[in-house]
């Protein structure tokens, strides 16, 4: 059974970090309902949901993907590029141990956010962004290349994280909203999508993806490619530069 790590939103969600967006009002009650609907998608598809302990003092803690990256049966605990987010790792470390994942750790002066890491087959695209530095990328490479992964560095200047601009379909095609992607030619296969919030998909299985309900034209595009598309409203998280990928870490058997 596939498993997924999630963490419920902090009551301080609206105080989360912002880099590329202006701050607008966030409704914490609506965010809590949206998060519950997101998690229900996994449960309805047969995933086991593993909740990381709440971290109410960490406004961005719900974006659990940034704290840990899983490569098969190996997990890498990240060191956040934003100093305010480094407290998130404490409870994520505990959750990884409870899930039975061997754990490596990014150490200072390296920084690495999980949102900067996109896995396609055995290739690891890693964003060189404002949150992930060269030392963090070097440490990532040292951990995963001996296990048979190829690491490819990608410049990221137009969005917060690599996966704010691109994600991948089940067949490995990288998708993104072209104005947000520094250089689409760096990906072997790239499909431009028509909406900013259509850049992010979570692969649920070989023919099903989860995405934001705020990208209906992208939904239709993916449906026409033969995919089943499940949509959820994540508007309150999108206001904070989040997306559907940020809210979970998928552990596949």
Known binding-site residues for substrate equal 18, 60, 65-66, 85, 131, 240
Length of the chain equals 253
Tokens of 92: 């994520």
The sheet that has 201-205: what strands, in order across it?
201-205, 208-212, 228-232
Kindly compute the dihedral angle of the four CA atoms of residues 22, 24, 30, 33, in this order, to the nearest 10 degrees. Answer: 10
**What does the DSSP 8-state code read for residue 9?**
P
From the list 234, 219, 124, the residue with the least C-alpha distance to 175 is: 219
Please indicate whether residue 20 is annotated as part of the active site: no
The sheet that has 150-155: what strands, in order across it?
117-120, 123-128, 150-155
Residues 6+ apart with CB under 8 A from 185: none
Count of C-beta atoms within a 10 Å radius of residue 53: 13
Please indicate whether residue 78 is annotated as part of the active site: no
Residue from 20, 78, 161, 243 carrying the catalytic annotation: 161
First to last CA, the chain: 7
Residues 6+ apart with CB under 8 A from 25: 14
Residues catalogued as catalytic: 161, 246
């Amino acid at each position: 059974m596939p498993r997924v790590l999630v963490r419920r939103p902090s009551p301080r969600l609206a105080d989360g970090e912002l880099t590329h967006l202006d701050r607008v009002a966030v409704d914490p009650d609506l965010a809590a309902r949206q998060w519950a609907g997101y998690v229900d998608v996994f449960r309805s598809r047969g995933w086991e949901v593993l909740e990381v302990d709440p971290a109410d003092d960490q406004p961005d803690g719900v974006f659990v993907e940034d704290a840990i990256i899983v490569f098969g049966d190996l997990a890498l605990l990240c060191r956040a590029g934003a100093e305010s987010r480094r407290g998130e790792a404490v409870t994520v470390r505990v959750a990884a141990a409870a899930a039975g994942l061997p754990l490596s750790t990014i150490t200072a002066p390296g920084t690495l956010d999980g949102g900067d890491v996109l896995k396609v087959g055995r290739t690891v695209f890693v964003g060189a962004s404002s949150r992930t530095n060269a030392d963090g990328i070097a440490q990532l490479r040292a951990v995963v290349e001996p296990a048979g992964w190829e690491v490819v560095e990608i410049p990221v200047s137009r969005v917060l994280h690599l996966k704010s601009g691109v994600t991948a379909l089940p067949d490995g095609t990288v998708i993104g909203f072209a104005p947000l992607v520094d250089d689409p030619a760096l990906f072997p296969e790239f499909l431009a999508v028509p909406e900013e919030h259509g850049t992010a998909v979570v692969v649920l299985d070989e023919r099903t993806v989860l995405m934001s309900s705020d990208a209906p034209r992208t939904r239709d595009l993916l449906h026409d490619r033969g995919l089943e598309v499940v949509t959820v409203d994540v508007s309150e998280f999108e206001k904070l530069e989040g997306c559907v990928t940020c809210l979970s870490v998928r552990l596949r058997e």
